[in-house]
Amino acid sequence: MSSSTRVAAVDCGTNSIRLLVADVSDDGTLTELDRRMEIVRLGQGVDRTGELAPEALERTLAASREYAKVAAEMGATRVRFVATSATRDARNRADFAAGVRAALGVDPEVVSGEEEALLSFRGATSGSASEHPGPYLVVDLGGGSTELVLGSTTPDAAVSMDVGSVRLTERHLHSDPPAAAEISRARADVTSALDAASAVVPLGRTATLVGLAGSVTSVTAHALGLTSYRRETINGAVLSVDDVLAACEDLLGRTREERLALGFMHPGRADVIGAGALVWSQVVTRVRDEVAASGGALTHVVTSESDILDGIALSLA
C-alpha cells in the first residue's frame, strides 16, 4: 500500500507567485488540495534596472507570508520555493532570499532556465497533455522568460529564452494599444530568441505542442469564447493553430481597457497579455513551420493547467 506526503510548492515568477498544497504518493500521483495565485509583478523594472524594486519585493513577501500560513494550517511537511527569471536577473536577490527564509523557513531556490524547463515538462506531462502522442514540446511562457523543452517520457533538449510578457512589454510595447513599430521590434526580439533556441531544441520533431502558464491560458480562454476563467475547461483544451493565432492577434490589438472588459482576464495581466500573446503566436508559428519543413503537420495546440507548480510538488515526494 502506497503512502503519501503532504507538500507545499511555491512558484515565484516575474509576474505572479503561486502556491500548490498537495498530497503526493510514492507512485507519483498528485492529489491537489489548494491552489492559488497572486499577481505581484516581482519583475517590475528588473530588465531596465537589474534590481528588484522595493515595492515589488514587499508585495511578493507579503504573499509569501500568507502562503506560509496556508501551508502550515494544512499540515504540509515539505516545502519548496522556486524562483525563476526575475530573481535570476536581480543584483539584490539576497534581500529577497532573506525575506522568503523569514516567511517560510526555507531558502528560495533560484533555478536556472534549464531546471525551470525540466520542472515544467514534468508537471505538464503528469497531466492531460500525456493523453496525446509524443514527442512533446512543452512551452512555459512566463513574465520574464520562456522555456522550451522537448521529449517523450523524459526531456531530450531544453532551452530558456529571455523573452516573456513583462519583459517585452517594458522593452517595447508602450502605447495603448501597441503601435505597429513597437510590435515589429518585439517580434524581432522573439524571432532572434527562437533562432538561437532552435539550434538547441529540434522544434521540427514536435508531435504535440503544449502551452503552459497565464499568457497561454488567457489566450486559450479567449479562443474558447469564455466569459469567465474556467480552469476545468481550459485544462486540456485542444485548439487549432489558426484559432490560437487569431486569438493572439486580437488580444495584441486591444487596449488595456478592452482586455479588462473580458470576463476571464485577471486585472494584473491585462497590461502584459498583448506581449504574452505575441510571444505565443511567434512560438506556435515557428513550430508549425519547422514541423512542416520536417515533413509533418502541426494542426492543433494543447493547453495544460498542470505546469511547473505541479513539477515542483512532484519533486518533493
Tens digits of residue pLDDT in 242-273: 999 999 999 999 999 999 999 999 998 999 99
pTM score of the predicted model: 0.87
Contacts of residue 250, defined as CB under 8 A and 6 or more positions apart, other chains included, come to 222
Q: Where are the domains of the chain?
A: 4-110, 114-308
Which fold does the domain 114-308 belong to in CATH? Nucleotidyltransferase; domain 5 (3.30.420)
Binned at pLDDT 50, 70 and 90, residue 32 comes out as very high
- Average pLDDT of the chain, as a whole number: 92
Q: How many residues does the chain have?
A: 317
Between CA 116 and CA 312 the distance in angstroms is 9
**Does 52 score more than 90 pLDDT?**
no
The DSSP line for 195-211 is HHHHTTS-GGG-SEEEE
Contacts of residue 284, defined as CB under 8 A and 6 or more positions apart, other chains included, come to 209, 241, 244, 245, 248, 301
pLDDT given at position 164? 93
Q: Which range among 82-86, 89-93, 168-172 has the greatest average pLDDT?
A: 168-172
Q: What percent of the chain has pLDDT over 70?
A: 98
List the grid coordinates of 59.
508585495
pLDDT tens digits for range 179-232:
999 999 999 999 999 999 999 999 999 999 999 999 999 999 999 999 999 999
Please report how many Cα atoms fall inside a 13 Å half-sphere around the Cα of residue 310, on the Cβ side.
21
Q: Decide which of 15 and 89 is more confident.
A: 15
Which fold does the domain 4-110 belong to in CATH? Nucleotidyltransferase; domain 5 (3.30.420)
**Does 241 score more than 60 pLDDT?**
yes
pLDDT given at position 94? 87
pLDDT given at position 1? 54
Q: Decide which of 296 and 130 is more confident.
A: 296
Other C-beta atoms closer than 10 Å to the C-beta of 291 total 20
List the grid coordinates of 275.
506581449
CATH topology identical between 4-110 and 114-308 = yes
pLDDT given at position 313? 93
